[in-house]
Amino acid sequence: MYKKTLAVVALAAMAAGCSSVKEQVDTAKDRVQYREQPLVSDVKTGMTKEQVLQIGGTPSTLYTRKVKPGSCNNYVLNRDGKEQVYSVGFDSAGRVDSKGFETCESADHY
């Protein structure tokens, strides 16, 4: 019984490790595929919300951060019929302090 439990735990750990490696590879691939998108290439740390809205338009959803003060905009990027999430985070003064290929909700854990 102990050996079976140990085997199941080991397989689960290996599967979890493989999925995190895949996410890292996909993120690097996304950076290359979507780097020409204005939201990715033109939005810089320190920009205001208004500047981001001029570049990216209306976000798909708005999110109020739980971990650090501020807010976040979720966007959906489109390329060749494929969609990719992208978020832009703002500090309490309304300035960009983070951005990346994940939802605001998943980024709000630091």
pLDDT recorded at residue 30: 64
Residue-wise pLDDT for 40-89, tens only, equals 999 999 999 999 999 999 999 999 999 989 999 999 999 888 899 999 99
pLDDT at 14 over 60: no
Domains of the chain: total = 1
Q: Please say if the pLDDT value at position 92 is more than 60.
A: yes
Domain residues for 70? Answer: 2-107
What's the whole-model pTM score?
0.72
Please list the alpha-helical segments (H only) found in the chain.
2-34, 38-42, 49-56, 104-107
CATH no. for residue 27? 3.30.1450.10
**Cα separation of 71 and 100, whole Å?**
14
pLDDT of residue 72: 98
Helix/strand/coil (H, E, C) string of 28-52? HHHHHHHCCCHHHHHCCCCCEHHHH
pLDDT value for 100 = 94
